[in-house]
Homo-oligomer: A and B are copies of this chain.
Amino acid sequence: ALAAPAAFAEKTSPRLRWRLAASWPISLDTVYGGAEFFAKRVGELTGGRFNIRVYAGGEIVGGLQVLDAVQQGTVEMGHTASYYYIGKMPSLAFDTTLPFGMNYRQQNSWQNFGGGNDLLNKEVFSQFNIVSLPAGNTGTQMGGWFRKPLEGLGSLKGLKMRIPGFGGKVMARLGVNVQTLAGAEIYPALERGVIDATEWVGPYDDQKLGFYRVAKNYYYPSWWEPSTQFSLYVNKTAWDKLPKEYQAAVHAAAAEVNVRVMAHYDAVNPPALKQLIDKGVTLRPFSKDIMEAAQKNAFELYEELAAKDPTWRKIYGEWKKYRGMEYAWFNVAEQGFADFAFPQVPRSEL
């Protein structure tokens, strides 16, 4: 009788070779490295029996076709950001970030203990035959690169800025002439003055694209991405056939990547920011009137969507309540400490 579980484990531990399509080029080593770590860890956890090979964006499908590829079963897995696909369904944004949404810890809490992940899988990802799990984060991103300093809210009128997604929708309401450009087109457009501004991620990733050479004003914070979650997608048909042991490996490895990608960004962003400042970049906060107008317009947009999109309405109600609870809580001990302690360290310690 004692041998029965082992025999069971052997029978249910098939040799699998899966493919994971990542949205990232290899050069985004924090997040691409997260996808590779995930695959390596699942291999280690299963004695090499569950083999996952990672493909960078463009190798099997384009970086923005990962959802389609997982849905159709072209690949069994993806590592991506759900907000790339809001054209299919706006509610996918809740899985990544929204303007004036939650920070890293708040998003993790909602996903894991606030019912967020279950709700998103039930209401959103089931429609794409996908199971999604949180698998990495950037934290609050930077607001991006502006050729000229802004002079308050009025200076956004007519400004040509590359900013996709919900951030772009809110910027458009503030009068910005929103541009959509693929990664490789951004730098030349900014250099030639075809656009006045662009946003990307944060110091470490932004530095590689060289924006600092042609736009010296680096704004913060990205009020449109208070924390940007990456997700691990699994084709649901393939997921349902996975042995429980392999499902556990996917869960645990995705959670480990969630910690590691965030920890990696927090390790590499400070020295990158220091280098950017040393190269003549000026850090500038968005003015209060811009922040206020953006927040007002963001929530007006959410309410408009709630009025016409039942899925959005359902998730938005839950999300907004959780967000309020977390903001009010963070405003006590966490901010009480941060507001006193962090400003006492000068930027020279970056």
Residues of A with Cβ closer than 8 Å to B? 5-6, 8-10, 12-13, 15, 41, 44-49, 100, 103-106, 108-109, 111-114, 139-143, 202, 220-223, 226, 244-245, 248-249, 251-253, 255-256, 258-260, 262-264, 266-271, 273, 283, 285-286, 288, 291, 295, 321, 323-350
Contact = CB atoms under 8 A, between A and B. Distances in A.
Contacts of A244: 44
A140 B262 contact: no
Stoichiometry, copies per complex: 2
A252 B48 contact: no
Listed from nearest, the 9 A-B pairs whose CB atoms lie closest are: A9-B47, A324-B349, A113-B267, A109-B266, A255-B256, A44-B248, A221-B336, A221-B337, A327-B345
Contacts of A143: 333
A211 B330 CA distance: 22
Contacts of A343: 331, 335
A245 B283 CA distance: 46
Contact of A258 (B46, B47, B259): B259
A142 B333 CA distance: 6
Contacts of A104: 105
Nearest to A251: B256
A269 B71 CA distance: 38
B334 A245 contact: no
A318 to B, nearest CB: 13
A321 B100 CA distance: 31
B262 A108 contact: yes
Contacts of A223: 337, 340-341
Given A44-B248, A255-B255, A255-B256, A350 B333 contact: no
A299 to B, nearest CB: 11
A110 to B, nearest CB: 8
